[in-house]
A and B are shown apart, each in its own frame.
Chain A
Amino acid sequence: MNKKKQSVFFSTVYWVFLVAALSSHPSVSFAEESSGNKTFEAILSNGLKVILLENHKAPVVTVQVWYRVGSRNETWGKTGLSHLLEHMMFRGSKRFSAEQFVRMIEENGGKSNAFTSHDYTAYFVNICAERVAIPLELEADRMQNATFDEKKFATEKKVVIEERRLRTENNPQAYLYEQMAATAYQVHPYHWPVIGWMEDLEGLTVSDALDYYHRYYVPANAFLIVVGDFSRQDLLPKIEKAFGCLPSTQAPQQVVSREPIQKGERRIVIKREGLVPALMIGYHVPNLQNADGYVLEVIEGILSSGKSSRFYDRLVREKQIALRAYADFSLTSFDPGLFFISAEVLVEKDLTTLEKAIDEEIIRLQTEPVAMEELNKVKNQLEAGFIYSQDSVFNQAMVLARNEIAATWRCIDDYIPAIHRVTPNDILRVARQYMIPENRTVGYFIPLPPQNIESNNSKNLIVEEEYTR
């Protein structure tokens, strides 16, 4: 204990020294470190937050820029804009063409991609540690210099429409998920899917994207996170050089309408071509802003973490009514999200039986205190999972960044302690408070037999042989 305190003290002194040494770059206005791990934070004078975590286990780094903008910032009729903008960010800037960008990354052995969610849009490059300056330069450039060519915009819109077909239109589970959210949220923007409605995508324009870019892609609305094999004193001047010159702009407001409290169960049925019946249940729940969030994290584990979990052991293995059954909860959503339960029916069983069996598990959570042995098992799993996740610098950065989006990356220090504080009584109370029919949406996917196919597809396979040369 004493030893740990001491090392923290020395690190802090070191960091203050570093800031002093950087005083010739007056844009670094603030820096500190967390007590629980070795993560450091600095804020450049233009408002860009910088989060750094050294990890020397492999000679690689991940460089990520996260913007605090996602589909929750969109408006009715303009859904999918955040994600389409993310695509456009790969189509060139005033300094680098799209081809130059990809070449600079790939010729240096890097892997680059991006992802958009309800709450954020994030860009990453995983690359050899010695090449870290390259992604810094490219990310700083596209934070202010992206170009929006009409023709490329039209092409990229087509690409996104194909992406929507691939991910949602032709995937019954994803389609059900989308309909669930649209039913559970009526006012809050979690109502619409991240990729956007097909009908809205068609109508998005270059000027929509440009306005959005200018409003949200500013240093004060973003943060840079680097995890991997570097030293802070070498890296910070490089970051300052790349990003320090970006102009300071006010961060956009993040207020959106709150979802009114749900008054009564909502049920939906999706019928379309498919083969495996499925159901989803979504309960409105809090995130990590509320201590109950950590209780829900434990409940998620009790229900579906590992093969001894209640869902697997009872529904999949013992009763053999589910092909798969999962609970899914995101502690780090920006606004309160949904606690999802999803399950697919095992051959020849029906959805009503499956729903009833799931309900029994919910009632059990509400009525029987969880045995200490089972609770400790789930805590061990969450703790082990946390340790395993630190094996990858990419995952380490993801976990820090998601916490930063929801509140602050410092929440990560409290994750394991908060999990350990959860008691059997907490679980009873939280299950009784949120996991009630009045607060849920239930969705069924009922497959219709493929129209053009009689029974077994392989019998219907048309094989043509062509003889050419």
Chain B
Amino acid sequence: MNNVKPRRLSPYWWPLNFIFFLILFPSHSFSLPPTERMSLQNGLRLIVSEAHSLPFVTFQLIIDGGSRFDPPNKEGLSYLTAKGLLHGTIKHTSKQMNELLDFMGANLHTDSSKDYITVGFKVLKRDLFQGFHLFMDAITLPVFPKDEFHSEIQRTLGIIKSVEEDPKELSEREFFKTLFAGTPYGHPVIGTEESILKLTRNDLAAFHSSYVRPNRAILVITGDISLNEIKMDLMSRLEAWPAGNVLPTSHKQPSAQNTKILTLERAISQANITLGNLAPQRNNPDFFPMIVTNYILGGGFSSRLLTEIRAKRGLAYSIRSTFHFKKRVGSFLVSLQTKNDSAQEAISIVLEEIKKLQKEPVTDIELEGARKYLTGSFPLQLDTQAKLAGFLAQVEFYGLGEDYAHNYVSCIMAVTKEDVQRVAKKYLNPYNYTLVIVGNLKEGRFRK
């Protein structure tokens, strides 16, 4: 009966698995564990951080081949290619792979997001060598067998249905579709019913051959392994992974939009609201003022939105704002759920709070609180092998620089009240926004 009820929504309980939200920062008294970085001949970037307190090793591979590279009418291709890596290789069938991995107690999983494909792997030290080769087989030697492919298509159709059944996920899906319409960031990572039914095994093989290549990949290894062991035992296999051609990149930027309100009728007791606008990409000079601003508005448990909507009025259990930063685009959004007939009130409060942030400077206490939290909580973001590996991979992927962690504290501390007001005006838009409401529209007075 482990039906635990967490009190508040927090990253502990609701992993934002489809969204990149970097909240990983150092404090004054903390520095990154020592890491080694190197580039192999085939273009693979390798980052290693040793930690020998527990007898296991974590691998995190990220590949520059997310759903933004799905060709038109082949939405879901990156996702199905990622899933297909586990469907069997030249050496093993899917069933054999599963047996071998489970026998070691190893975890191997693949996924795709808008920017990149991830392959995560965790294995006990005693099985490192055998496990590593299975991991590399999956990445480099997949065969995408017919039966497994068809069964994955059926599962993906099932997952699409599950999303439609979940009003919160549905609301966010429609939000991103609308905000990024006409760009490679618009469609859902898992594709649509129409698009995935048109995909073939050849599409997967071609996508794999173009994108799953060392010159597009970053591999982070953390845990009970030394650089010497990597050089002796793993390096030759990593080096044997053949590089691919450099692919031309073009990117269509989303265009600024007028206010769009989308409503979706569901016979449910809450309106699931997503409201927001376009924002810049991850690597932009205003990143630090933006995360400070977001923390004050709707990031922390002392945020303005949480105080106004939850603590004072009891309108919602979960209310938060976020910047979602991607490689080429970004977005700002507020997400909340409230009983249908409170929806209009909650939306007005959100818009008023954004306007207030643009009109008046934040208080000294708010600014200081945000700085202290964002710098002080850094060690908590790196306290497991997987969290550290994820951090190192993303710093590399988004090109944040080797000194990113080192400079972080000073960058946060340099943010001023004027900066907060400036970025609030520049990147939050309470006049032209995209708003999605999934709920009982009559009770919410969105429809007569």
Contact = CB atoms under 8 A, between A and B. Distances in A.
Q: Do A and B bind each other?
A: yes
Interface of A: 56-60, 83, 86-87, 90, 98-99, 102-103, 106-119, 126-128, 130-131, 154-163, 165-167, 169-172, 177, 181, 190, 193-195, 273-276, 305-309, 312-313, 316-317, 320, 323, 328, 330, 332-333, 337-338, 344, 346-347, 373, 376-377, 380-385, 387-388, 390-394, 447, 450-453, 457, 460-469
B270 A166 contact: yes
Interface string B300-315: 1110000000111111
A457 B164 contact: yes
Q: Determine which residue in B10, B164, B262, B432 has the highest number of CB atoms from chain A within 10 A of its CB, and name it.
A: B164
Interface size class of B (residues with CB under 8 A): 35 or more
Contacts, number: 287
A380 B105 contact: yes
Contacts of A346: 154-155, 158
Contacts of B382: 58
Nearest to A317: B151
Contact of A452 (B260, B265, B385): B265
**Chain A interface SS verdict (over half):** mixed
A119 B385 CA distance: 31
Nearest to A379: B105
A467 B313 contact: no
Nearest to B125: A387
A376 B102 CA distance: 10
A168 to B, nearest CB: 10
A115 B259 contact: no
B158 A388 contact: no
A293 B277 CA distance: 52
B267 A90 contact: no
Query: Which 5 pairs of residues, A with B, have the shortest CB-CB distance?
Result: A109-B376, A384-B105, A158-B314, A323-B158, A163-B317
B129 interface: no
Contacts of A383: 105
A447 B376 CA distance: 47
Most buried by A among B30, B157, B158, B312: B158
A460 B376 contact: no
Interface of B: 1-8, 10, 12, 27, 29-30, 51, 53-56, 86, 94-95, 98-99, 101-107, 122, 124, 148, 151, 154-155, 157-159, 161-162, 164-168, 170, 174, 178, 258-270, 300-302, 310-318, 337-339, 365, 368-369, 372-373, 375-380, 382-386, 431-432, 447
A162 B164 contact: no
A145 B2 CA distance: 29
Contacts of B154: 320, 346-347
A162 B302 contact: no
Given A155-B312, A388-B56, A83 B102 contact: no
B313 A155 contact: yes
A465 B263 CA distance: 12
Nearest to A378: B102
Contact of A159 (B2, B158, B268, B316): B316
Nearest to A380: B105
A130 B157 CA distance: 50
Contacts of B432: 468-469
A468 B431 contact: yes
Contacts of B338: 162
Contact of A177 (B3, B258, B300): B3
A214 B95 CA distance: 56
Contacts of B2: 117, 328, 330, 332-333
Indicate the member of A119, A156, A306 with the most B CB atoms within 10 Å. Answer: A306
Contacts of B270: 162, 165-166, 169-170
A165 B385 CA distance: 36
B267 A451 contact: yes
A309 B30 contact: no
Q: Which of B6, B165, B315, B385 has its CB near the most chain A CB atoms (within 10 A)?
A: B165
Contacts of B164: 275, 457
Nearest to A331: B2
Contacts of A90: 7
A300 B262 CA distance: 44
B104 A160 contact: no
Given A58-B379, A106-B302, A394-B12, 13 more contacts: A57-B383, A106-B377, A107-B368, A111-B377, A156-B314, A157-B314, A165-B269, A165-B339, A275-B161, A316-B155, A450-B267, A453-B265, A462-B263
